[in-house]
Amino acid sequence: MAQHFHRSMNTIAKVSIFGAVFIIGFSAWLLLEVNRSSNVTNVGIALPQPVQFSHQHHVAGLGIECRYCHTSVEHSAFANIPPISTCMNCHQQIWFGAPMLEPVRASWKSGQALEWNRVHNLGDYVYFNHGVHVQKGIGCVSCHGRVDQMQLIYKDQPHTMEWCLSCHRNPAQHIRPRDQVFNMTWKPEDIGETQAALGARLVKEYNIEPARKLTSCSTCHH
């Protein structure tokens, strides 16, 4: 009976059995990396908006606090986007005729909501809550970056499950005094402390839940 396979197949077979481990491993790694890349997480990408509303201008330039506009962020799951009447508090006078603000005035007159494009949007199967993070001393800057330097809002952090867990395993590395949550430039050195010492103290003071509870699936998926 003629041989079906050439001798070299012996080597090829061995190499490919061995190599399959690497090929599968490599594919898995590639998949994870692609999932973490900004193509998927959209980190650093600003979306087109109906109005060129600049946080840099309003927050850093004019000194308006986050809560003037995002009024519900302290106590509700959702950080509200301000209604047009909030813009009109100032813009009924300031730059009233500016063409840039035309969509704002049109919405004010017609009552049709202005449609902003959502930048941060977790899957509907994840539960997130702003209130609890604000009350427990996690600053806006830890999750949204230097909003006060952004012309248009973009995502500063990946907001993947891996990212949430990296903090939930050890919140002490990010926690700050409650009254500094909205401060974009606060550092523990400002009050002469290190994050390690301050974090350990605040975790006790604010009764932060143990990592076991914070990393349990049902905390975020229910």
Partner 1 sequence: MLRISRGQGRWRQVVWAGVAAALLAGGAGCKQKMSYQPRYDPLERSETFNDRSSARPLPAGTVARGFLRDDPEVFLGRKENGDYATEFPFPITEEVMRRGQERFTIYCTMCHGFSGYGNGMIVQRGFSPPPSFHAPETREKSVGYYFAVITNGYGAMPGHAHQIPVSDRWAIVAYVRALQLSQNASLDDVPAAHRSALDAPPPAPMNSRSADPHSANSHSGGAR
Question: Considering only residues 10-69, where is the footprint of ligand HEC by CB under 6 A?
Answer: 49, 51-55, 57-59, 61-62, 64, 66, 68-69
**10 Å Cβ neighbour count for 144?**
21
Among 78, 187, 197, 219, binds partner 1 (CB under 8 A): 78
Q: Supply the minimum distance, in Å, between the C-beta of residue 38 and ligand HEC.
A: 14
| Cβ distance to ligand HEC smaller for residue 182 or 198 | 182
Q: Is 119 a binder of partner 1 (CB under 8 A)? A: no
Among 42, 71, 131, 165, binds ligand HEC (CB under 6 A): 165
In angstroms, how far is the first alpha carbon of the chain from the final one? 64
Binding mask 95-134 for ligand HEC (x = CB under 6 A): x----xx--x-----------x-xxxxxx--xxxxx-xxx
| Cβ distance to partner 1 smaller for residue 68 or 213 | 68
Q: Residue 113: which of ligand HEC, partner 1, none does it interact with, CB under 5 to 8 A by kind? A: partner 1
| Cβ distance to partner 1 smaller for residue 83 or 131 | 83
Q: Which one of the spans 83-91, 169-177, 201-209, 210-218 is the region binding partner 1 (CB under 8 A)?
A: 83-91
| CA 181/CA 142 separation, integer angstroms | 9
Longest dimension (CA), the chain: 96
Q: Is 192 a binder of partner 1 (CB under 8 A)? A: no
| CA 58/CA 114 separation, integer angstroms | 19
Binding mask 195-214 for ligand HEC (x = CB under 6 A): -------------xx----x
What residues line the site for partner 1 (CB under 8 A)? 27, 30-31, 34-35, 39-40, 59-60, 62-65, 67-68, 71, 78, 80-81, 83, 85-86, 88-90, 92-94, 111-113, 115, 121, 123-125, 179, 182-183, 185, 190
